[in-house]
């Protein structure tokens, strides 16, 4: 029961919900998420670490950067929860703006890699 409570507590922050909404679109680098949310890298990384420890996302190292995606392996027991709230997340003005900022940022990345 404690694990379940921890997982749901991780969803109780607007920044973490914004991160999950962006990650619904696929794997993103920390630099992509930082640009989309217009927040410091340390803030984004702290929220990502909490989501990862709660089992909502996973990280993959690629050089000096870490790329994050929604958890879809055996630990993804909450995938149905994310599926259920996905529509609500996508419908928020913040999520729409975050997606627009991310898409504009991704277009400016010459080689598709983080600096």
pLDDT tens digit string along 57-115?
A: 999 998 888 999 998 765 556 667 777 787 888 888 999 999 999 999 998 886 666 65
* Whole-number pLDDT of residue 80: 73
CATH number at residue 91: 1.10.10.10
Nearest to 15 by CA among 59, 62, 49, 55: 49
Q: pLDDT tier at 19 (50, 70, 90 boundaries)?
A: very high
Structural domain count, the chain = 1
* Mean local confidence (pLDDT), 42-49: 97
Do the domain assignments include residue 15?
A: yes
Closest by CA position to 17, among listed 58, 53, 76, 57: 57
Residue 77: what pLDDT?
63
Domain containing 101 equals: 2-105
């Amino acid at each position: 029961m404690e694990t379940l409570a921890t997982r749901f507590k991780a969803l109780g922050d607007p920044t973490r919900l914004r991160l999950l909404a962006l990650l619904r679109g696929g794997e993103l680098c920390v630099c992509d998420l930082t640009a989309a949310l217009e927040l410091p890298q340390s803030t984004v990384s702290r929220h990502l670490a909490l989501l990862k420890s709660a089992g909502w996302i996973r990280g993959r190292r690629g050089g000096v950067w870490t790329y994050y995606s929604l958890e879809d392996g055996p630990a993804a027991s909450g995938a149905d929860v994310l599926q259920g709230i996905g529509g609500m997340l996508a419908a928020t003005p913040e999520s729409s703006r975050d997606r627009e900022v991310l898409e504009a940022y991704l277009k400016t990345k010459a080689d598709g890699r983080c600096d």
